[in-house]
Amino acid sequence: MGVLSSLLYEGMTLLSHQFNWGEGYAERPILAYLLVYFSLFALYASAAWLVSGRKLDDRRTFIVLVAFGLLFRALLFPAHQIQEDDIYRYLWDGKVFAHSVNPYAYAPAEVQQYQEFKIAEPERFQATYDAKEQQELERLHRLKWENRQALTILDRVNHPDVPTIYPPLAQFVFASVAKIKADSIGAMRLAFLIFDLITLGFIVLLLKTMGKNRNLCLIYFWSPLVIKETFNSTHLDIIGIALLTSSIYFLVGRRHVLASAFLGLSVLGKLYPVILMPLYLQQAVHASPAATRGQIARRLLTLVLVFTAVVILGYLPFASTGLKTFEGLKTFSIYWQSNDSLFTLLEYFFGGILGVGAEGQTFLSQSLPTVAAKVTVLCVLVVSLAWFLLRPRAGGDTTEGIRPLFVMMALVFVLSPVQNPWYLCWLVPFLCVFPERAWILLTGLVGLYYLDFYFDYQDIAALSAWTSWLEYTPFYLLLAWDIGRKWRTRRLAERDAPSAPPA
């Protein structure tokens, strides 16, 4: 399986050279790429079944799976990005920060238009920017023209009118790469490989701590989704994923201060895991059932302070832009909607109730069905979190102790108005502990996201509406089946369990 997968990854690399930025959209071999991707997924799913189903836990298997996982990444190293261009924003942000300019201060379009604005409208230019800002824009303007590669990078930044949305820790990583080798996709991939290997290391440690088969790490390290989106598309999510995985390892080991600190670092990589902090506090409370209320209160206060201090210290170097630091994030949260499933159904449902179309009767720059859907999503997340916090704790099983973390991150994904494939990578480390077949299936099905581009390029956009149905329907059906089967098994076990003798 490793050898066959290696051949397919080499084929993916060869195909990638037909994905040139800004060129030949209609000729891009998207269908051929999907054939390769789903062939890889079939081999991956089979390997995951062998490891989890037959309990292959020997050292030789571990060495083989790690060696092939590294080989897969090496084969993709020279590949062009397939249908993704976020990397150009990372490279630009890193160069800006490496040259002592706050990356949240200026949208790339401001740098692009700097010279024209300065010459054509000097009075408005002077009124718009103070002396320090003019100096910084001049510095960035020179960086733009530093060489041909620098000019290309800035020209390819997507959504140039929007300031960066990426959190502080990501900016430090970008800047570190820029100082080593600016404008280099390869350098960024190598940096992300470090976080990729950190994730693998902590998954192995976590499985060992929980008494599970360490070879289940194959579910992460051989995942075509993780390899494609992290190493080919070069998405930054691996930074936060690595730190979240290490945080969960410390949480299971009852090192709660370290767990909270690393959770804060993960939030500084990407904001999703912030929803897990209440569950971390719950774990700290249950870790010492004999503690007094005062001891519990002091422990909780310490953990909250550690988490908060890490996040504040991360944002402190960017404080000069004030609330503008979050301008890009605000734009993303209001306007972005892509590849969603349940959120679209909620919009349709509320559109029918309110009698309002998706484009009409805007409120806070959004349609009323969209606002209602987002409020509903927030309520579902809050109620789910409250249920986990208030329900009776079942024994001391560490596996069940971290299941709420998995469920909450899964809910964040399936309810989000933006369900890009690389967002699903956050769940893959959890699948090494909970090898749920529906979620493993989704890591394959989510590749159909790229089918939407094919329909657009071939002028058959009417078929795009079916992409999400193809992508998510099999997943939700299998998920419902598995949940129902587990519920029936539990009910039968409870019915057949011997009753307690009378007092």
Phi first, then psi: give them for residue 147, nearest 5 degrees: -165, 175
**DSSP per-residue letters across 381-446:** HHHHHHHHHHSPP-TT-HHHHHHHHHHHHHHHHHH-SB--GGGGGGGHHHHHHS--HHHHHHHHHG
Maximal CA-CA distance, the chain? 93
- Catalogue the long-range contacts made by 387-396 (C-beta closer than 8 Å, 24 or more residues apart): 388/279, 388/282, 389/278, 389/279, 389/282, 393/286
Assign 260 a pLDDT band (cuts: 50, 70, 90).
Answer: very high
Cα–Cα distance between 163 and 324 in angstroms, integer? 9
Beta-strand relationship, 362-363 and 366-367: antiparallel
- pTM for this structure? 0.93
pLDDT digits (tens, 9 = 90+) for 444-457: 999 999 999 999 99
pLDDT tens column, 208-242:
999 999 999 999 999 999 999 999 999 999 999 99
User: Within 13 Å, how many C-alpha atoms sit on residue 273's CB side?
Assistant: 32
Kindly give the interhelix angle for 185-209 and 86-98, rounded to the nearest 10 degrees. 100
SS3 362: strand
Q: For residues 269 and 320, give the distance between their C-alpha atoms in angstroms, rounded to a whole number.
A: 20
Q: How many CA atoms lie within 13 A of 85 on its CB side?
A: 14
What are 165-220's pLDDT values in tens digits? 999 999 999 999 999 999 999 999 999 999 999 999 999 999 999 999 999 999 99
CA distance 420 to 423: 6
pLDDT digits (tens, 9 = 90+) for 108-129: 999 999 889 999 999 999 999 9
What mean pLDDT do residues 357-367 have? 54
> Residue 290 pLDDT more than 90?
no
Q: How far apart are CA 433 and CA 123, in angstroms?
A: 61
Mean pLDDT over 482-489 rounds to 90
User: What is the share, in percent, of the chain residues with pLDDT greater than 70?
Assistant: 94
- pLDDT tier at 286 (50, 70, 90 boundaries)? confident
pLDDT at site 87: 96
Better pLDDT: 22 or 425: 425
Q: How confident is the model at residue 363 (pLDDT cuts 50, 70, 90)?
A: very low
CA distance 337 to 367: 13
Q: Would you place residue 432 in the very low, low, confident or very high pLDDT band (cuts 50, 70, 90)?
A: very high
Is the pLDDT confidence value at 362 over 70? no
CA distance 202 to 220: 11
- Residue 1 has, within 13 A of its CA and on its CB side, a CA count of 20
Cβ atoms of residues 104 and 328 within 8 Å: yes
**In this model, does residue 395 exceed pLDDT 90?**
no
State mean pLDDT over 447-470: 90
Contacts of 199 (CB under 8 A, 6+ apart): 220, 238, 241, 242, 245, 429
pLDDT for position 54: 65
Contact in structure between 471 and 339 (CB atoms under 8 Å): yes
% residues pLDDT > 90 (the chain) = 73
366: helix, coil or strand?
Answer: strand
Intra-chain end-to-end CA distance of the chain, in Å: 59
Better pLDDT: 9 or 396: 9
pLDDT at 9 exceeding the cut of 70: yes
Can you tell me the mean pLDDT for 383-400? 79
- pLDDT for 360 equals 46
